[in-house]
Amino acid sequence: MVEADVLVVADGAQSPTRRRFLPDLVSTYAGYVAWRGTLDEAEAPPELVRFFDDTFTFSEARSAGHILAYFIPGDGADTTPGKRRLNWVWYVGVGEADLPRLLIDRDGRQHHASLPLGGTPDGTTADLRDLARREVHPMLAALVAATRQPFLQTIVDVVPVRTVFGRVCLLGDAAFVVRPHTAGATAKAVRDATTLARALKLADRNVDAGLSSFEETQIEFGRGLVDYVHTTKSHVSPPSIDAAILGASSFRGYCRPPFRASDALGEPAADVAGDRKPNAMIEPFAPASRAISFPVGYHDLHPDISVNFQLNRFYGWVGDDSMLTEMRATVTGVSDYPTFTKIILDLGEKALARRETLKGAYYLRLAEFFLFATDPRKLPTRQRFLDLILDHFQIPSTTYSRIPYGSGWLAAYRLAPARPKGTLVVFGGFDS
């Protein structure tokens, strides 16, 4: 027997505790599933290893959805080349009426939300491989074909009306479950934990009052996150530009070749199959002493969903509404990359001439994002962006350092307030 003042339950998206306290709460199917798979690097064809190495690769499917792939550590968290794993996730739209048939495993057992590793029937795996050959980039289709045991999970929302039951509180995915496109599962759990700690501390010895305050804050945030997912259309939706009409040099809305960090979207497969590496530099951020606010909302700036996302992303880092007006006036109807990058670079130069440093810098970064690695303008544009940002936020060159990593290095900035309270290490990840 263990006695405690509070039981904090963090038993995941399928939380038995949540089902016990809220037996009538049901998940809401989002209209699509995530097919997943891993492939040991040692078993992967060499051309796949070369293609995916040191990249985060993204491709839209022809009909709808998208697939992404990247390396993860192997057994024992080993990141040694040859001992890693290739990991991929493919978001595929599936009608709710078709789910029960899809969730029958190889032994004929019906599942509710997922098919475990090794449970997918051979016929379903064959159908998935055929679908990949028709829908996604050939290298990603080859990765799916090389994966012996793909597995499946449905994408759902879970929105509870309560998260505290006496002295028991739900935390993380045990409380709210949101779609993966928020990239918020870990952050949500951390926020829950810190909110709980703060509420209990402020309530002093009144534990019940602290839990009540925590629940109110948690529910407000959780519902807001779910609403945000819905309003930004982060579900799997059809693309908007027909690649067959626009041609090879266009924004290829149906089957975009892999997106690689710092490389251009839509680059033909023949140009991306080599050993090119993404730019290793990271972008600095503002010192903690400067308050930053970010805009809220999502705007229709371009008919191609991925280009529209990038335009929204770069606007969001600046928050200057004049960018929305300028981008709508100049790039909404553009359907090829040379014209697009020329316009964005021109917007950047004009902004810098008006001494709008932050806006001009991020226009340059947006253009550089879409420039091919072989373009002689790419690295100078990237360096100019970094110099402008460092100057804008008054970050001295002495804060920059290189951390040895494997056969190379990781770029890092050390930013310290006047009276630091501790050390916080932030690593953006390969897809940030």
Q: What is the pLDDT of residues 361-383, one digit of tens each?
A: 999 999 999 998 888 999 999 99
Compute the distance between CA of residue 84 and CA of residue 52 in angstroms, rounded to an integer.
12
Sheet holding 57-60, edge to edge: 57-60, 66-72, 85-93, 28-40, 151-157, 114-115
Q: How many other CB atoms are there within 10 angstroms of residue 33's CB atom?
A: 26
pLDDT surpassing 80 at residue 281: no
**Would you say residue 88 has pLDDT above 80?**
yes
- pLDDT of the residue at 275: 36
- Nearest of 140, 172, 148 to residue 15 by alpha carbon: 172
- For residue range 109-120, what is the model confidence (pLDDT) as tens digits? 999 889 888 899
Predicted confidence (pLDDT) at residue 336 exceeds the cutoff of 50: yes
Q: Is 68 exposed, middle or buried (0-12, 13-18, 19+ CB in 10 A)?
A: middle
Average pLDDT over residues 335-364: 95
Between 82 and 413, the more confident residue is: 82
Amino acid of residue 259: F
Residue 294 pLDDT: 61
pLDDT tens-digit series, residues 375-414: 899 999 999 999 999 889 888 878 888 888 888 888 888 8
Does residue 320 carry a pLDDT above 60? Answer: yes
pLDDT band, residue 182 (cuts 50/70/90): confident
pLDDT at 293: 56
Q: Are the C-beta atoms of 395 and 287 separated by less than 8 Å?
A: yes
Higher pLDDT: 249 or 373? It is 373
Query: Tell me, what's the pLDDT at 176?
Result: 94
Using CA atoms, how far residue 266 sits from 26, 93, 249, 375, in Å, is 40, 23, 8, 15
pLDDT, position 230:
76
Please state, for a pLDDT cut of 90, what percent of the chain lies above it. 54
Directed axis angle between helix 357-370 and helix 378-392, to 10°?
A: 150
- 231: pLDDT strictly greater than 90: no
Is a pLDDT exceeding 70 seen at residue 326? yes
User: Residue type for 234, please?
Assistant: S
Residues whose CB is less than 8 angstroms from the CB of residue 148 and which lie 6 or more positions away in sequence, other chains included = none
Q: Which of 210, 150, 211, 153 is nearest to 177 (CA)?
A: 153
pLDDT reported for residue 286? 31
Please state, in angstroms and rounded to a whole number, the distance separating the CA atoms of residues 369 and 352: 19
- What is the predicted pLDDT for the residue at 236? 52
C-alpha span between 29 and 113 (Å, rounded) = 10
In the chain, % of residues over pLDDT 70: 84
Domain ranges, ordered by start, for the chain: 7-26+158-231, 28-156, 276-413
* pLDDT above 80: residue 142: yes
228 vs 211 pLDDT, higher one: 211
As a whole number, the mean pLDDT across the chain is 82
CATH 3.30.1330.180 is the classification of domain 28-156: no
Is residue 272 scored above 60 in pLDDT? Answer: no
- Architecture per CATH, 7-26+158-231: 3-Layer(bba) Sandwich (3.50)
Q: What φ, ψ does residue 412 adopt, rounded to 5°?
A: -150, 150
The reported pLDDT for the residue numbered 369 is 92
pLDDT at position 397 is: 79
Contact 281, 401 (CB under 8 A): no
Quick check: 278 pLDDT over 80?
no
Instruction: Report how far residue 117's alpha carbon sits from residue 148's, in angstroms, rounded to the nearest whole number.
Output: 10
Would you give the DSSP letter of residue 256?
P
Separation of alpha carbons 191 and 197, rounded Å: 10
Mean pLDDT of 348-373: 94
Q: In the numeric block, which tokens belong to residue 31?
A: 């209209």
Beta-carbon contacts of residue 313 (< 8 Å; ≥ 6 apart) = none
Task: Give the pLDDT of residue 430.
Answer: 58
Residue range 223-249: mean pLDDT, rounded: 51
- Cβ contact 242:62 at 8 Å: no
- pLDDT tens across 11-60, in order? 999 899 999 999 999 999 988 899 999 999 999 999 999 999 888 888 88
